[in-house]
Structure 1
Amino acid sequence: MTDETLLFTSAVAMNVDQGKSVDSPPPEDLQATSPSLIPPEDTDFLDEPAQRQRIGLRWMLGSGLVILVGVAGWVGYQAVSRQPAPSVEVVTAPVTRDDLEVTITEAGSVELGGQQTFKAPSDVTVQAVLVEERQRVSQGQVLLELRDRTLQQTLDDQLVQNRINQLTWQRNQEILAERRSRLADAEARLQDSAELLDQGYISEDDFRRDKQAAEDAQSEVRNAEVELTKAELQVQQDQVKTENIRLQLEDNQIAAPIDAIVLNVDVKPGDGVQREGRLLSIGDPNQETIRLQMTTLNASQVAVNMPVRVSIIGPDPDIFEGRILRVSPQAVSEGDNAEQSSVEAEARLAEPSGALIPGSAVSVEIVLEQRQNALVVPVTALQRDAATPYVWVKTADNTAQQQEVEIGLETLESVEILSGLQAGDEIVVFLPPDVVLTPGQPLTVPQLEGAPEAGGGPVEIPVEGAE
């Protein structure tokens, strides 16, 4: 059988397979229409109907077998794909509500409100110490008396000079009075000389002498008035000098500017103290403040009125709450090393602790951000390998469901959930490292003691700079 005959037979079989009747044209028509397709000597089989039926049946059986194999493959694939996925062992916990915090920790020192240290105004000798440590003092109460021998001698000398100038002023008053009396006598004599000259009893030379004497007396009065004015000004100047010296001496009396308690007395009677030397310290025990020297990195995150928790450095300390009172806008460097610069800040306790010792070192925890009663999950539960963060939720039929969430405040251990979950939802908080969950995958939860909960409680972010 030639290739052309096989092509024709295939076409017939395809029509039979599609359920169509096949009417074979007469041999003469085939020969006429396609003489080159089927040679005349190979067309004898077309005259036999049984032969044509056998060929069609073979093609129908072949096509059915192909269809049967395809259907069997599809059924097998569906059977395999519908088999349940293997169960994955995970750790779950319910979503809870808790307080969430971001904090930094710095070291500080305790001070009392209005605390100050008095220093010597000049080189002085301590004359008297009128208070003792831990003594309560009232505003204006004298604490120390100092003696400046040079200044005291200056005052004594000034008082002597004041007395001399006072006497000079008094003498000038007397001189003025005397010269005014002489002037009155000279003017009276001149008047008598004028009358005698008119009557011809004296000469004009005598009259001129009396007139000159009156003029000289008038000049002496003017000079005396000038000297008296100068003496009065000198007395006034002496009073100002004396007052200044007395004020300087009063500065050597140290008085309390506020109601306070004496923290430290650095001197005793008879001690010589150089200028700016420490004398004593006081502070208001009704207020306690914490002085901080913060790193520039931490200071950039801190603002006035942020909550703080103060505790003594050590195990199981008592905690005292307060707020940031002041943050310096400028960093201060030690020497020329700008890398060691720090920013000064001050915090005030809400109420006196009764336990913190002024000058002692304390740990100060500063709350940068906080959320009260927030919906939180552990950071291990949050998945970030998609465009939107999500968590795996364990459904009622113990299968995994992917749930997108909106997150808020984040710490090293917990994340705030703003939307997507509710309190009580059971979420996967731990997966084995080599496991990848798919939606609908069965989950098994082992009975573990101490499994992590969804809420982590207040979380501290440790920041370098605290001791």
Structure 2
Amino acid sequence: MNPADHLHQNILENMRDGVMALDLQGRITLFNPAAAEVLGLDRNQVLGKTFAEVFLAMDEVNDEFNQVVLDAVLQKSVGRRDTVEFIRPGGARAALTVTSSYLRREGDEACGVIVVFSDITQIRTLQEQERENNRQLAKAYGDLEESNTKLTQALKKVQVVRVAATLGIILFFVGLGLYHFQVFSGLKRMTATTEPGPVSGQDAMAVHTLAPQRLAAAISLSGRLQPVEEVVVTAPFEARILENHFIFGQKVQQGDLLLLLDSSELEVKLREARSNQIKARQKYEELLGWDSGTEMAKARRSVERAEFDLETKRRKLEEDELLFSKGLISGDALDRSKNEVESAVTSVISSREDLESTRHKGGPENLNIARMELENAQARLDEVEGQLAQAEIRAPFSGVVIRPSVEDDKKVSLERGSRVQSGASLFALGNLEGLRVMGKVDEVDIGRLSVGQAVRARGDAFPGVILSGHVAHISAQATGGTSHQAPTFDIQITIPELTPEAEQMIRVGMSSDLEIQVHDNPNALLAPLRLVRSVGGRSLVRVATPDGEIEEREVETGMTTLREVEIVSGVQAGDRLAEWER
């Protein structure tokens, strides 16, 4: 045995996977120790026997395993990978992965089948345990979500009570102010009665002088603080998790290693991709130089030999015809010479056709096919290399690791040893350079909102800190809405940046109270509602002129409060408005 054969034999003897080789008659020619251990069979009693004698004669039912091997021997299905159950002698069950492939001689002729199988019983058991743990975790998560829902409802009730109490206090102070105002007005009228003096007609009619004052209005709502940007990180390929370096809610820096995936299976695919790329490149380069290659040279030599043989046979025929004319050879000998010439002509024609067929193999169409196969092989190689480079999953930017928003059945475990599918959402990374808040606005107030309006946010969890932001998005479609509840619209508030103090206090998911500034005019002219009258779709007021006259003037009104209305145009500061005659 030469050193190479000894090395190959040593590799087979020490492999952890079972290897079994069969010739095309179904006789077992190779059965390594791992195969004997996995299948529970005596190696010496298997080698040299046919597959039917060993496996089909067993009492245990192993139809799936037998069918996979028989399909490979009969050339129905080779190169496939199956997972089957195998019952060992004695009744022990094992889960196997079975892969079949051809054994080929030089010249690409199949001479047998090799079957490789691995015992994945323990892995399958662990997967079942993992699925059961995931079901229990999903149930616990559902119970937790239900508890959170109940708590949220309770908090909403508390907030309603707090708002009602606040309104009650406001109404109390408003009533108290009205009471004092009426008392003061009564005293003023009494003073005017006891101290009569000359009063002009203008002074008697003027009741309100317009003066600039601040007018502001806001809409209040609540929501939860979320990162200004969330990037969902997905699994680049199917693999087991080797290392986990984070917990949800943890702040990380750009470039930090978060997960390490097992790349052993991908490395096998990488080697296959490189092999296919090399083969495709060699084939393409061979077709590029096809006209000067070995195949064309062999075909040309075949034509040359056939033409030389034809020329030889023709000269011999000429000689035989001369000898026959002189009676030196028989007619049969002459006929044989003629037949040999005809046969040589056929050989020349055949060899020339073979030359053209060989030349066609290197034609533009086959060359184009080889080029596309090379491009496909190169693309596959680049894809696998790109996936392998992502085995170390690092933070794309600094932020906080949060759970991705996915359905319960699509959530994955990130524990060490867990298996993740390609494209599965692993986690989300939130950018904490700013915040966003999602809220709902009643249909009555939605018309008062516009993108860009200023927003202030406060929270019980970060007292003394006021966050400044703006309205970033207003949904054009309502959500909810029943016969007992008005529909609402989703809005997004963006807080573009945080102060160092806010960064230390604020955590993702905290609740906040929002105040959206829908109107702010520091120089508004306000008039009591009774002094503005609507006539025929126009707003009119009575203005006392400096010469003592009263004139009606059309004005444009703006925002209205409980007792006053904003006058946008038609009057100016200092104008005096008079009561309407009853």
Deviations 1:329-374 (A, max 9, x none): 223449x999575433222235324413332221221111221133
C-alpha distance in structure 2 between counterparts of 1:314 and 1:423, whole Å: 47
Q: Which residue of 1 aligns with 2:512?
A: 362
1:411 maps to 561
Deviation track 1:394-421 (CA, whole Å, cap 9, x = no partner) reads xxxxxxxx99996643224664466778
Separation (CA, whole Å) in 2 of partners of 1:183 and 1:275? 53
Moved more, 183-192 or 108-117: 183-192
1:144–1:254 Cα contact (<8 Å) kept: yes
CA contact (8 A) 1:101 1:411 kept: no
Identity level (%)? 15
What one-letter code is carried by the residue in structure 1 that aligns with 2:399? I
Query: Which deviates more from structure 2 when the two are superposed, residues 212-221 or residues 241-250?
Result: 241-250
Equivalent residue runs for 1:394-409 within 5 Å: 408-409=558-559
**For 2:485 and 2:562, how far apart are their aligned partners in 1?**
28
User: Do structure 1's residue 88 and structure 2's residue 186 form an aligned pair?
Assistant: yes
SS in structure 2 at match of 1:366: strand
Unaligned runs of 5+ in 2: 1-184, 190-206, 321-336, 404-412, 545-549
Can you list the C-alpha shifts for 1:207-254, whole angstroms capped at 9, x where unaligned?
333333233333444555666749946565444444445555667664
Q: Does 1:298 align with 2:445?
A: yes
Question: What CA distance in whole angstroms lies between the structure 2 residues aligned with 1:313 and 1:390?
Answer: 46
SS of the residue aligned with 2:441? Answer: strand
Q: 1:213 aligns with which of 347, 351, 356?
A: 347
Q: 2:493 aligns with which of 338, 342, 347?
A: 347
Task: Write the distance in 2 (CA, Å) between the matches of 1:360 and 1:178.
Answer: 76
Matched letter for residue 357 of structure 1: R
Letter in 1 for 2:518: L
CA deviation profile, 1:68-109 (whole Å, cap 9, x unmatched): xxxxxxxxxxxxxxxxxxx93369999864321121112222
Q: Cα 1:188–1:302, aligned 2, differ >3 Å: closer, same or farther?
A: same
- Residue 89 (structure 2) aligns with: none
For 2:483 and 2:235, the matched residues in 1 are separated by: 32
Deviation at 1:149, TM superposition (A): 7.8
| Change in 2 beyond 3 A, CA 1:207/1:370 | same
Cα 1:332/1:248, change in 2 over 3 Å = farther
Larger Rg: 1
Does residue 260 (structure 1) correspond to residue 377 (structure 2)? The answer is: no
1:137 aligns to what? 254
More helix by share: 2
User: TM-score if structure 1 supplies the norm length?
Assistant: 0.52
- Structure 2 equivalent of residue 454 of structure 1: none
Query: Could you tell me how far 1:285 is from its partner in structure 2?
Result: 3.2
Asked if 1 retains the 8 angstrom alpha-carbon contact of 2:231 and 2:428, the reply is yes
Question: Compared with structure 1, are the counterparts of its residues 171 and 351 closer, same or farther at alpha carbon in structure 2 (3 Å cutoff)?
Answer: closer
- Hey, what does 1:63 align to over in structure 2? none
1:63-74 residue pairs with structure 2 within 5 A?
none
Counterpart CA distance in 1 for 2:291 and 2:485 is: 77
Question: Which amino acid is 1:282 matched to?
Answer: L
**Secondary structure at the counterpart of residue 304 of structure 1:** coil
Bigger shift: residues 88-97 or 186-195: 88-97
Structure 1 partner of 2:300: 183
User: 2:473 maps to which residue?
Assistant: 326
- How many residue pairs end up in the alignment? 331
Q: Return the alpha-carbon distance in structure 1 between the equivalents of residues 428 and 531 of structure 2.
A: 58
Q: Which structure is higher in RCO with an 8 Å CA cutoff and minimum separation 6?
A: 1
Aligned position for 1:113: 228
8 Å contact kept, 1:108–1:291: yes
Q: 1:313 to 1:215 in 2, by over 3 A?
A: farther
The 5 Å alignment of 1:278-297 reads 278-297=425-444
**What amino acid sits opposite 1:326 in the alignment?**
H
Q: 1:186 to 1:226 in 2, by over 3 A?
A: closer
What amino acid does structure 2 have at the position aligned with 1:271?
S
Find the aligned partners of 2:350 and 2:483 in 1 and give their Cα distance.
Answer: 81
Aligned residue number for residue 524 of structure 2: 374
TM-score, scaled to structure 2: 0.43
Preserved contact between residue 234 and residue 427 of structure 2 (Cα < 8 Å)? yes
Question: Residue 312 of structure 1: CA displacement?
Answer: 1.5
- Distance in structure 1 (CA, Å) of the matches to 2:461 and 2:209: 35
